[in-house]
Amino acid sequence: MSTTPPRQKRPWSIFYFALAVLYLGAVNLARAGLALRGESFIASLPLTMPLPYLAAGAMVWGCIFCVTAFGVWRGWPGARKLLLSAIFVYQLHIWVNHFIFDTSDYARQVWPFQAGVSVAWIVWVWGFLFLPGVRHLYLKR
């Protein structure tokens, strides 16, 4: 007779949430790959941000979000805390880039919309991870 406790089923919402975080990581890794390869359409853009900087930032965030997505899916206790801080620092990094590298008037005109997107990301991630059932799932281990 086995003495291991029965395996708890993971809610589908966790699976889809982890998939969304994995997608965010994959998009960043793809952006890093394109920047490293110096794709012609990226090279033709009037970028003020150096491509190695863009590639390095995207690579770091891609790795962080891919690992975090796996941790969220597996229910690792530290994954919740990592994602709570990572999404905030990620958005902060985006805004540092805006302040340093946005030079055109159009880029600054869309800041209110981009601020809304940043707030929406933070609210969505934090809101989901602070749902009582989700929070309990990560705190009980």
At 8-57, the pLDDT tens digits run 677 788 999 999 999 999 999 999 998 888 766 666 766 778 888 989 99
Domain-located, residue 34: yes
d(CA 19, CA 78): 18
CA angle 105, 27, 44 (to 5 degrees): 45
Domain-located, residue 5: no
d(CA 77, CA 82): 9
Domain-located, residue 67: yes
Least confident of 19-23, 91-95, 137-141: 137-141
What is the extent of the structural domain holding 17? Answer: 12-139
DSSP code of residue 125: H
Contacts of 91 (CB under 8 A, 6+ apart): 118, 121, 122
How many domains in the chain? 1
Domain-located, residue 3: no
Domain-located, residue 6: no
Taking residues 101-108, what's their average pLDDT? 85
Q: For the whole model, what pTM was predicted?
A: 0.83
